Amino acid sequence: METLASPCTGIIHNLPVERDDKGRPIRRSFTMIHNILLDLRYKIKKIKSMWNKDDFQGYALIEFGISDEDVRSSMKLESQFEEEGHGKVAWLSGNVDARPYLWVATIHDRQLLRSNVDYMTIPNEWRALAKTEAKNDIMDAAGAVTSWLANKDLMT
């Protein structure tokens, strides 16, 4: 069994941010990522970028929901990033590149979630099923997002 945040929440790290001419972050890039994931048929509800009092912290929370379909969708997206070498293990290794890293939040990610969060327990078989679905999926969310990011100059 695995303990996940409820509603099921993805953590996406290493996000570039567009800035206006005064250096202030523009939130439009998060809306674009949200729309890309929806177009790829991932069951996401919203993306919440994480900020301290002055600036963006470099990561966002992707809320999926609590239904079986929502949880499976989150597992599938996580598997896509893991296959690309951009999952939680790769992020925690510290040997990272400029592309985004994504995983589904577990009880061990409480500090990143920054709020009182409920948790749900799911069978380990769900993760295995998600990996199988991800391998058979025609759409590659990680490739689409990173391709989009590669074609944008968001680091200025």
Q: Which contacts (CB < 8 Å, 24+ apart) does range 127-131 have?
A: 127/2, 127/75, 127/79, 129/72, 129/75, 130/72, 130/75, 130/76, 130/78, 130/79, 131/75, 131/79, 131/82
Q: Tell me what pLDDT residue 88 has.
A: 92
Cβ count within 10 A of residue 105:
23
Q: Tell me what pLDDT residue 143 has.
A: 67
Cα separation of 106 and 124, whole Å? 13
Region of poorest pLDDT, from 25-29, 32-36, 135-139, 152-156: 152-156
Cα separation of 154 and 18, whole Å? 5
Would you place residue 156 in the very low, low, confident or very high pLDDT band (cuts 50, 70, 90)?
A: very low
The strand ranges marked E within the chain are 2-6, 8-13, 18-19, 25-26, 46-51, 56-65, 101-104, 118-122
Report all structural domains of the chain as residue ranges with CATH numbers, in order of start: 2-142 (3.30.70.2890)
Q: Tell me what pLDDT residue 42 has.
A: 86
Cα separation of 127 and 54, whole Å? 37
Point out which residues pair with 103 in neighbouring strands. Answer: 11
* pLDDT for residue 138 is more than 50: no
4 in Cβ contact with 75 (< 8 Å): no
Cα separation of 7 and 42, whole Å? 15
Which residue has better confidence, 141 or 115? Answer: 115
- What single letter denotes the amino acid at residue 123? P
Cα separation of 113 and 81, whole Å? 20
pLDDT average, residue stretch 122-146? 64
